[in-house]
A and B are shown apart, each in its own frame.
Chain A
Amino acid sequence: MDPRDAILAAVRRNRPVGEHPLPPVPHFAVSEAGERAACFARSLELMGGKVLEPDPAADLLTAYLRGSGLAPPEIVCSAVPEIAGNRDLATVAHPRDLADVDVAVVRAACGVAETGSVLLTEAQLQVNAVAYLAQHLLVLLDPADIVASIHDAYDRPEFHQARYAVFHTGPSATADIEGVLVHGAQGVRSLTVVLLPRQPSSVPA
């Protein structure tokens, strides 16, 4: 028998007895204890991410580098109009060509206060792998795009429309050896979020 038919037939044959109705998922209001953006920042910092207040007087990249204590990067790959990088994502032939990127800059589709997550899809990333191959990730997030909970985030259209949608909550991390936490296990060594409203021209994707 065709394996598909065999599996489906076995599943039907062995169907558990009983009704087992699908329960409705109620709306859970997550306690945000104060302003949503502040709640987001607290959550993200517990997950190893950093939150940077935008400094209107300083250039964004300069302020980021100063704030995170990074050496001046050689290769900056930007998917946002606010920062001009020196590696054009539109010309990347293969994702591996991004292996030498020091800093990648993207804008999040939304943020989640409950967990400190940012949501990214191929629309924001352009080349998905940039968010993992870069050494450091800088994410711009409009405070107006922060939702309260993970439940609320799943109401977003991205989960029905995007090819790839990912919550980033802090940097790549591991504590597989004696529980000692290390940032930059395989992906980015740091993740910094700047709470910066969208420019009028950068309409959400």
Chain B
Amino acid sequence: MTDEPGGLIHPELRSERNESPVGPAGQRLQHAEGTSQPLRSKIRERQPRGAEVNGRRPIDHEAAAARFIAAPEHEKMHDERLWDLRSKRDAQMHAIPEWEELRELASQIKQHTLAHLDEYLEQFEAAAKANGVHVHWATDGAAHNRIVHGILRDHGAKRLIKSKSMLTEECGLRDYMAATGIEVVETDLGERIQQLDDEPPSHVVVPAVHKLRRDVAEVFSRTLGSDPDTDEVPYLAERQREATRPLILSADAGMTGGNFAVAETGSFVVCTNEGNADLSANVPALHIASIGIEKLIPRVEHLGVFIRLLSRSALGSPITQYTSHFRRPREGGEMHVVLVDNGRSARLGMAEFWTSLKCIRCGACMNTCPVFRRSGGLSYGATYAGPIGLILDPTFDKRKYSTLPFASTLNGSCSNVCPVKINIHEQIFAWRRVLAEEHEIPLVKRQMMQAAGAVLSRPALYRAAISTADSALRFLPRFAVYNRWNAWGAGREMPPAPKETFHTWYARTHPAADKGSGDGSA
């Protein structure tokens, strides 16, 4: 699928000039989100916008995907960069002999913690309080926003600087704060670009990966007064640094998320490449951290497993530039932790879906997903896009996100790369069944489901069919995967076509049950 020897899917994006820094031996550096090959967009093209979000109306992912595909320069760069992250991840994986063992450990540690979450939450709270940290509990996003607002109001805070947090996106914190008169400033470059452009992040790790440099130049010229005709990346990054720094220095409060919370020590860990979480936490005297209750792990020693997996899976970089551990407020400082449920405890009780709570938000499943790479994160119209989004979003709203579990080829690649071994593609399929049963799926999809027949409606059967992920497609009816309604399924770069149609496969493997296979009643 790539050109040789450079390994690009879209060789026309290759840049003649290396813009990235080089190491001491003259080698091009590719840590953090850096691409392994010099890339550059060349064609001027309007940025396609994401899915329209209309109350609880089901998201039209395919229409938004079609818009993205109709902007080929954007689509190609997106595809190329994310595939590059996936390739860098593979290289890191191959360099670690115990990789599979680490994944299994990570999965088991998370499952153990989730199965004893009440105890670990109480342990974390007690330890954090003993450390002088204020601990708050928020049952949902609205409660979270009220708590954060209350803390800021009590301190007379006028400006909050924050690092990237998917949880605060999930809670809609920025929108809420807009009505309070307290200014919120994102300090991650990608997240800041998205904030200035009034768009949500399109990817959990690289929030502006769907934008080209000219899009950023346009946003910055409009909002920061930079030169609209200069789209050199170091120039754009520097304009943002210069514009943000005074806001950081004069902020009254800082906010971070938390990648991990350690029950044993009551501490939490934040991973960034820019050091912006450390600025947010260490410059103002007040630090608020929003942490989902599923982020708990038992002990410090377990961090070794997760830190070794996280950045390697996310970016193909051995570690993020900064891995920051917060245990007690600094001298003269104040630290608050808001533990947020927002549907997580309910998800814990869903037998087929609770293991989605193991997710460490690395984004590897998004980078590897052919649908995500071709449709862009904003086409999902939800906080979480890509394969992990398909299984999380319906837990927030079954109607609004009823179409999303269909934005998948079920090729199993997501499950194969997941560092905590979530059976993502099986859960995607299980959601299709749940939504079909509850009549939340739109007509076209329902017809597709009915036509797909017994396999798609009988989980045990389907499970057997996809027991080896690579073979999943061979056992799915062709029209369930490729059809004219799936914009992202049209054209190139799809997994190999199924070798049999559903009917021939079913007839061959289930001769006795062939009759009535379309009703799915067995």
A, B assembled together: yes
Contact of A175 among B35, B139, B188, B325 (CB under 8 A): B35
Nearest-Cβ distance from residue B271 to partner chain A, whole angstroms = 9
CB nearest to B111 among chain A residues? A20
Interface residue ranges of A1-32 to B (CB < 8 Å): 2-4, 6-8, 10-23, 25-26, 28
Q: State whether A176 touches B304 (Cβ < 8 A).
A: no
CB-defined contacts of A149 to chain B, threshold 8 Å: 304
Q: Which residue of the partner chain, among B34, B275, B320, contacts A180 with CB atoms under 8 Å?
A: B34
The chain A residue with its CB closest to the CB of B208 is A176
Judge whether B58 is part of the interface by a CB distance below 8 angstroms.
no
Given contacts A16-B114, A16-B115, A129-B282, contact A185 B189 (CB under 8 A): yes
The answer to whether B307 and A170 have CB atoms under 8 Å apart is no
* Nearest CB of A to B521, in Å: 28
Determine whether the beta carbon of A11 is less than 8 Å from that of B20: no
Q: Is B304 a contact partner of A163 (Cβ separation < 8 A)?
A: no
Complex CA distance for A25 and B101, rounded to whole angstroms:
10
A12, A173, A179: most-surrounded residue (chain B CB, <10 A): A179
At the interface, yes or no: A151 with Cβ under 8 Å from chain B? yes
A152 to chain B, nearest CB (A): 8
Judge whether A124 is part of the interface by a CB distance below 8 angstroms.
Answer: no
A14, A28, A174, A188: the one contacting B32 at CB < 8 Å is A174
- CB nearest to B215 among chain A residues: A177
Option from A15, A153, A164 in Cβ contact (under 8 Å) with B348: A15
A47 touching B318, Cβ below 8 Å: yes
Q: How large is the interface on B (under 10, 10 to 19, 20 to 34, 35 or more residues)?
A: 35 or more
- Does A168 sit within 8 A of B, measured CB to CB? yes
Q: Which residues of A contact B211 (CB under 8 A)?
A: 177
Residues of A within 8 A of B473 (CB): none
B238: chain A residues within 8 A (beta carbon): 182, 184
CA distance A201 to B189 in the complex (A): 42
In residues 26-47 of chain A, which contact B (Cβ within 8 Å)? 26, 28, 43, 45-47
**Chain A residues with Cβ under 8 A from B501's Cβ?**
none
Query: Is B190 among interface residues, defined by CB-CB distance under 8 A?
Result: yes
CB-nearest residue of chain A to B85: A179
CB <8 Å contact, A180 and B19: yes
Interchain CB contact under 8 A, A176 and B207 = yes
In the A-B complex, the 10 residue pairs with the smallest Cβ-Cβ separation, listed nearest first, are A14-B349, A187-B275, A179-B35, A181-B34, A10-B345, A176-B190, A185-B274, A151-B304, A175-B33, A180-B233
Measured CB to CB, the residues of A under 8 A from B are 2-4, 6-8, 10-23, 25-26, 28, 43, 45-48, 50-51, 95-96, 99, 114-117, 122, 128-129, 131-133, 149-151, 153-155, 159-160, 162-188
> Can you sample 16 A-B contacts with CB below 8 Å?
A7-B341, A16-B115, A18-B115, A20-B108, A45-B23, A47-B319, A115-B319, A164-B325, A165-B325, A169-B323, A171-B321, A175-B33, A178-B35, A180-B213, A182-B233, A186-B189
**Chain B residues proximal to chain A, CB less than 8 Å:** 19-21, 23-25, 29-35, 39-41, 77, 81, 84, 98, 101, 104-105, 108-109, 111-112, 114-118, 121-122, 125, 137-139, 143, 187-190, 193, 206-209, 211-213, 216, 233-234, 236-238, 241, 244-245, 248-250, 265, 267, 273-276, 278-279, 281-283, 293, 298, 300-305, 307-308, 317-331, 339, 341, 345-346, 348-349, 351, 354
